Each structure stands twice: as structure tokens, then as C-alpha cells.
Chains A and B, each alone.
Chain A
């Protein structure tokens, strides 16, 4: 299984049973970006359901169709998701997404990677 991957939007790293996705700084996620992001994630997972740590501190914007895609198609094969955020921009991005798009998986936002990992390890 691949344990590292990078595309235009994020880097993916697999370690200790957790898939970490770190978005690049200043990234703007539209529908085509969302499709690519999910496709590359599934390529790395090779059919295995995993907990995912999403570092969204670099995300600048994400539009409605991308939010819809990530919450629906983008939730496939995710056990649980933890968002790494930094106040206040990425914080409102994550709370808006979780509240309006309601992805069908356990979700929580954290400011520290350690706490996020221990949350994910409970799944």
C-alpha cells in the first residue's frame, strides 16, 4: 500500500492506521478539486476503511458543490474524521460544513494533532 501521495491540493500520509490529509496553504476547493481529492484518497486506501485526519488550516475557500460532494461521495470508506483547525477562518469553515452538509460519519474538530489522533484511535 502506498503510504505517501501528493496532488495539487493536499499531501496524503498513511501511518499507524490513520490517513492524514494536509491541505496545501491557500488552497481553493471547487467541485473538480473535490473529485480529485476523493479519488486520490480512495486510491491510497485500496478498499480499506480508515480513520482520517484532515488538516484544513491551509484551506482558503470551499464552494457549495465541493462541500456537497465531500459530504456525500467523499464520505465513502471513512471510519471517522478529525479536522485540524486554527481560529478563526478554518474554524468557521469546518463548523459551517459540519452543520449544513452533515457528513454521515463521526466528526470532530481539534486545534491539536495529538488530541485529534486520540479521538481517531477510539474508532
Chain B
């Protein structure tokens, strides 16, 4: 066994609803290429191929989440987990159905590590906060705490292109948890950073849970899901397969996926 697995103690969950997802379909068109170019478009046209493909990311998904819940989301790659997060965050609109969210959300998705590498860490923090809807004064108040928590020293005043991936991840995590979110969306974000930072991150998440924040957590590390969440949903090809106690859902999922419960799968976070 490797590092200790983060664990969160849970308070009683409120009966107030924080997130309502009703009959949600999300369908989007995307290109096959990573970088669509005119040349490829012309080549495809010549061969009579279609450039876009329709992805039915979520199909008829409905569930409610009460305030104070830590909801684990599991499923295979491409099951629709990240799309669900983005829909709850308001980044991708529903194609059908409705999503209602009470409170401020803060997202920490796997790719969300600094956005402009030419700018300093500090500038990225301020810009990220402003885009998320905080005022300049609110950010001035929080900036010191964010910098202190990220603990990257003088690097905070340097362009982010000079950061290691671990440093960028720490800063991103620090920003997300210091926006005082009512709802925190975390997508595999704990997979970077060293053991010390992981511990610190878990502590901070515990604080948020104590303050009745709601959390949505995506992880392929099933042990993390069991240890940290109070509730769990399992998505398969965009459909909601099961919802319930994390241990039971994880069991059903692993059985379905014919995955042996090896420690490698469980601890790989």
C-alpha cells in the first residue's frame, strides 16, 4: 500500500436541495480532429466524409443532491461524468431538461490549471476570480490566503510558463477552494500534487464539508470515492445506472466492469 487515502468525516446532511437535475439530455457536435483546419475540411469534402460527429453525452439523467452531500461520480472514460459537471457549472447548456443550482459553484476540472502561461500566477488568480464573478475587492481580501495555501513562494509573481505541473495544480486548487463555493466541482483534480499537499487539500475539503458545502467528485480511484463521498452515482454511456451508498455503487460498478478489486485500481488516485 502506498500513501494514505484521504478521508472526510461527514456531518448530518441538510434536507435542503442544492442541485436538481431533471430529464437532462446533453448532445453536442464535435470534430474528429483535435485542431480543425481548412485543409482537412477540404480533404474531407473531397472524400465525402462528414467532419462533425454528434455525441450524446447525457441521456435522460435525473437526480437531486442535498446540501452538504459529497457526491461521488463514477463511470468509464467517456461516460459523461465531465459533461455532467460542466452542465451543473453552467458551462455547457442542456439540450433538453433542466438543471437548477442553489448557490455559487466553483469548478476544479482536470484541465483547469492556469489559463494564460505568459501571465504571472498572481494575474491568473485575479483573472480566474473575476471571470468566476467575484469583485476586485473580494479578490484582494482572499489573495493572501490563496497564495499562502498554494505555498509556491516567489513563483506566484512569475509567469506560469515557469511552473511545474504540481505548482500549477496547487495554485488552481487553492483558488477553487478559496472562492467560498456553496458547491465545489472536482474532476480528478487531486491526482496531482505531492502527499503533503494532498493532506492539506483534504483538510480544506473537510472544512468546506463542515460549512455545509456540497461537493461533486469525479475520480477513477474508487477508494477515494468510498472514503470521501456520502452518496454516489454511476454513469454508463450517458445514462444514470445507479445511485446510492458509495460502497454499494462501487461494488456494482466493479462487478459490471469485470474489474478485479485490486489495490492498484483502488489506490490509484
Q: Do A and B come from one complex?
A: no
Interface residue ranges, A against B (CB under 8 Å): none
